[in-house]
Structure 1
């Protein structure tokens, strides 16, 4: 009897021990007060990614053995690239991001502040992230305000294309006073992508220190982001050049006769609600997917674009940038930047103005003599070297042009 009693007692103690182990190791970790339980995520779910705002929507699988990461503090996390640093679990009252697997962040370097950006991947033929909060990495915030120019020349150019910038600086961009009017030049850049990004950015920073004429914003510089580039230009002009009279957007591969441009503005141009250049009227919308300028019908169902000034070079009064930025909040963005400005102009009820002569703003004209360049305002050239050659020939003694 005593032996049987001892056997029962041993079995009872084993069962009690198993139950204690069960609650200690398996059950209690699900209790929020358990010391081994990982603090839950406090990140606010993002509805744009299909995440529910309720706490139940945060997947429990985020509490696995992945590495902890926390976003490093920066001023509003806006002007400094995000850095992720490895941290130890802390008290439950601390704020945590969701667990992020390192495999999901191939470009993050934990030992450096500036992570290498991933190569740019085009979002598609018509996806444009504008309006959005783009900021300036390089800026000349007071130069336009202090110098109070009559005309501001804005040249969008890729970060790598220093040859084009130097050619412009050595030719028409060097003209600072024309017909008694002050003229100022700025180049507008986005961010480079791909290989050797950091080395290229260092060169851009050095060039900015040397010339003080570079404006750089934090969008990827690419063909399909030209609308972003154009609207960032309008934002800059609206905030930085309140007292200037006119601005011209002109591509870096263009010849520009600044004298003829200023002469036209003085004699023939209105003081507000004015944009002029090579104006396209009745341009067909290309719904053919094989076209470089393809727009799907569901994005833009109209058959003809409203009038717009071709993007190779157009001039406008400085009251327009603020109005165009405001209009952009009501007009769906498309990636064809000059067409988009035309859509914003239509929203404002303002029509681009034809120049006083049809031959002033020209596209590609091929090889021409010096008299051609003396008569036009703009024309397309092939290379930076051709611009240097044309400029040199134009300023040498030659026959009188009529």
Structure 2
């Protein structure tokens, strides 16, 4: 019986090793595609195409926005606010104006934000102004507390409307109105909610990279092809006569988005034509669409999602939803400790926080499913 040729054995072994290596590399590539591919595909398909402004209506909106002069209206507009930090932008070259939407009763959260991510007025040598936007509280006691808070911090804008779920779109229009009236020199405006952790340094770095594009910026996590709520029993019901289209226009999640000053002026000009009964994010998206502005998608905005904490991951993202004050303080302290992340640490951070975020999502999904099954069983 012939002995197997040693050369043939080695060749077979090499082929086997090659197949194993290819299989391992394929699985590594597949893992990264599944992990990050959704964001890449999302950013590709939601990337705004350049718009040709041939629509006379859009041209008219842009011309009115360009010529907008709020100076004669300042005295009357001032009456629309119980409190207004109208001198916040005076004698300053403001790069980023941050308008944080807050509930009147949440003074504790506002203080936590002041002590953490909003504790910065100079970022990379560029000026930032951070203010809180509120409506009226239902309690006189709370109103007195807000007045004391304003005297101490001078960073509140309080509209003369009741701060309620139904008035959030009105709150948005008043924030835009305040911006173009009292801070018309701000290059960019970030609208965010008090539930968000915001990495201002990362965001400013990104905005500085847009040196060739300082206008027509409407940046955030884009919501694509959302179907209007047609349930008359729902508090978010939108009737056909208000919005007859099958899908909403693409818009950025209202949890956090950035607009350039010219877009803020366009929103102000087009806002009277859009019903206030629309959801806040959809309202802004419709106003920008009427002006020919396309939203720019970035997966570094989390939307309503909480991104599982990892220091190097949080040094890359722009926002993450954080529910507890203590959690916000802890995450901010760790992010701002001054320790730089190496390329490998950044890679590990992005992978681990993405995996943990997915697992966290599945966990909540499982809890919701169990709750639904329990309710079904009880019925």
- Partner residue of 1:385 out of 326, 349, 357: 326
Unaligned runs of 5+ in 2: 1-74, 347-379
Aligned to 2:7: none
Q: Distance in 2 between matches of 1:398 and 1:149?
A: 28
| Residue pair 2:176, 2:268 contacting (<8 A) in 1 also | yes
The 8 Å contact of residues 307 and 320 in structure 2, kept in 1 or not, is answered as no
Q: Say which structure, 1 or 2, has more relative contact order (CA 8 Å, 6+ apart).
A: 2
| In structure 2, C-alpha distance between the alignment counterparts of 1:361 and 1:367, rounded to whole Å | 11
The 1:268/1:363 distance shift into structure 2, 3 A limit, reads farther
Kept in 2: contact 1:362–1:376 (CA 8 A): no
Looking at structure 1, the residues matched to 151 and 78 of structure 2 have their Cα atoms a distance apart, in angstroms, of 26
Aligned to 2:58: none
- The answer to whether the Cα contact below 8 Å between 2:218 and 2:259 also exists between their aligned partners in 1 is yes
Deviation readout 1:126-151 (Å, 9 max, x if unpaired): xxxxxx99701111212213222110
3-state secondary structure, aligned to 2:297: coil
Query: Paired residue for 2:210?
Result: 268
The answer for the alignment partner of 1:319 in structure 2 is 262
Select between 216-225 and 298-307 the one with higher mean Cα deviation: 298-307
**How far apart are the structure 2 equivalents of 1:307 and 1:134?**
34
**Would you say 1:164 and 2:109 are equivalent positions?**
yes
Cα–Cα, structure 1 residues 309 and 167, in superposed 2: closer, same or farther, change >3 Å? Answer: same
Aligned to 1:221: 163
Aligned positions of 1:287-298 closer than 5 A: 287-298=230-241
- Structure-1 residue corresponding to 2:83: 138
- Tell me if structure 2 keeps the 8 A contact 1:363–1:378: no
Tell me the secondary structure at the aligned position of residue 272 of structure 1: coil
Identify the residue that residue 352 of structure 1 maps to in structure 2: 295
2:151 aligned counterpart, secondary structure? helix
1:208 to 150, 161, 181: 150
Q: Distance in 2 between matches of 1:335 and 1:382?
A: 26
> Do the aligned partners of residues 274 and 192 (structure 1) sit closer, same or farther apart at CA in structure 2, a change above 3 Å counting?
same
| Bigger Rg over Cα | 1
How far, CA to CA, are the matches of 2:320 and 2:278 in structure 1? 24
- Cα separation, 2, equivalents of 1:171 and 1:365: 17
Counterpart Cα distance in 1 of 2:272 and 2:338: 52
Select 1:230's aligned residue among 172, 182, 194: 172
Tell me the TM-score normalised to structure 1 length: 0.63
Residue 229 of structure 1: CA displacement? 0.4
Partner of 1:9: none
Structure with bigger helix share is: 2
Q: Secondary structure at the match of 1:208?
A: helix
Flag structure 1 segments of 5+ consecutive residues without an equivalent: 1-77, 80-131
Q: Following TM superposition, where does structure 1 have runs of at least 4 consecutive aligned residues deviating by more than 4 angstroms?
A: none
Query: How large is the Cα RMSD of the aligned pairs?
Result: 2.2
CA deviations on 1:239-275 (whole Å, 9 max, x unpaired) are 1112110110000010101111001100036211211
